[in-house]
Amino acid sequence: MSRADTPIRIVILTPIRVEYESIRKHIPQIKREVIEGVFFETGLFSGANHDYEVFIQETGSKNTIVALASEKAIRLLNPAIIILVGIAGGVKDVQIGDVVIGTKAYGYESGKEEEQGPKSRPEVLSYSKELIEAARVISRDDEWRKRIEDSATSARVFFGPIASGDKVIASTATPLYQFLKQHYNDTIALEMESIGFAQAVSPYRRIHALNIRGISDLLDHKSGIDENSRQYMAANRAAAFLSEFLYQLDCSPFLFTDMDVKSIAKELYSLFFPAAFQEVGKDFTDAINGDIRAIWEKVKPFFIKDDAFEALRQDPEDSAAQGVLEMKLRRVLEQDADLLKSVVDLVYAAK
């Protein structure tokens, strides 16, 4: 495939320093950048299919902190992809040094206290199915292991839900673990950031998110390796998988870049306003081009109750109202990848 002129922008968040340093080794010619007081390091990563403009940030631990950092990174950088990378505790099947790709985020502290005791209201959020499937393909070969510093051929990649909360689950004997086993029995790993991360990114449906973790310890199975060494190994292996993942990833089948969204929104807006505004009230029933009618049916719900839309009904040349509606359309497309995909072919067919 041919490369895009503009690199794809990716944000990589790490909760703690050992994770950050492991990622940093894989980004060439890295440089510091401060945006509205937020410290990032950035560099260009060249993959087999795309060039990526990578921004990495050490956020700090816990769900609330990572949620705030994720929201701010999205606002400041408007990435196409955002990935949380770090270490985690293994719950079942995995061993220290394995890598886990989160298929879902569980919030094990969700719920409320009632007279009969705490009542669980499981919070479950998902990640990008496209990135997860790409990770599955990449996990099937040995190329990612070649990027591990210790060349560990035994390291494996698992896929499953990762649960998080701000209370540490230290052993299987704790009430919190029993709660987890009862309500989230398929949990494969534990940490303290993923539900906050997933909460922050889930409203942005066009942004593809993923959670990659290296296993640094196991519940009730203490290792003879000291904690710092285990964390370093786990972080190194998560970073190695991320590096090969980015190298092999081909996101052209599912990813729309920022320029795509802007240009599609502009093209879409120009189909309806202001020249064709007289047809809006008739739902384009007289339009010769059936694609225009099909597009209007998809976007009409976002316009018909807007004050700016009513202003244009009175004055189709109202530039302020035009600007408001065009910006609203862009925001809708940015946050709804399914809508974007469904209209993009129609837009170009209707031109």
- pTM value is 0.75
Kindly report the backbone phi and psi dihedral angles of residue 218, in degrees, each rounded to the nearest multiple of 5, phi listed first.
Answer: -130, 145
Q: In this model, does residue 300 exceed pLDDT 60?
A: yes
Task: Report the distance separating Cα 147 and Cα 158, nearest Å.
Answer: 18
Amino acid letter, 107: G
- Per residue in 185-244, pLDDT tens? 999 999 999 999 999 999 887 799 999 999 999 987 666 678 899 999 999 999 999 999
Around Cβ 94, how many Cβ atoms within 10 Å?
22
Q: What are phi and psi of 105, to 5 degrees?
A: -110, 125
Kindly state the tokens that stand for 248: 């092999």
State yes or no: pLDDT of 317 exceeds 90: no
Q: Which of 232, 250, 196 is nearest to 23 (CA)?
A: 232
Domain residue spans of the chain: 8-248, 258-350
How many residues can be counted in the chain? 351
DSSP single-letter state for residue 155: -
CATH code for residues 8-248: 3.40.50.1580
Helix (H, G, I), strand (E, B) or coil at 263: helix
Among residues 348, 347, 336, 224, the alpha carbon closest in space to that of 295 is found at 347
Question: Which residues are registered as beta bridge partners of 295?
Answer: none
Q: Of 5-9, 12-16, 273-277, 330-334, which range is least confident?
A: 273-277
Nearest Cα to Cα of residue 79 among 181, 232, 192, 200: 200
137-178 per-position pLDDT tens digit: 999 999 999 999 876 778 999 999 999 998 878 777 788 888
Peptide bond into 274 cis (omega under 30): yes
Q: Are the C-beta atoms of residues 80 and 103 closer than 8 Å to each other?
A: no
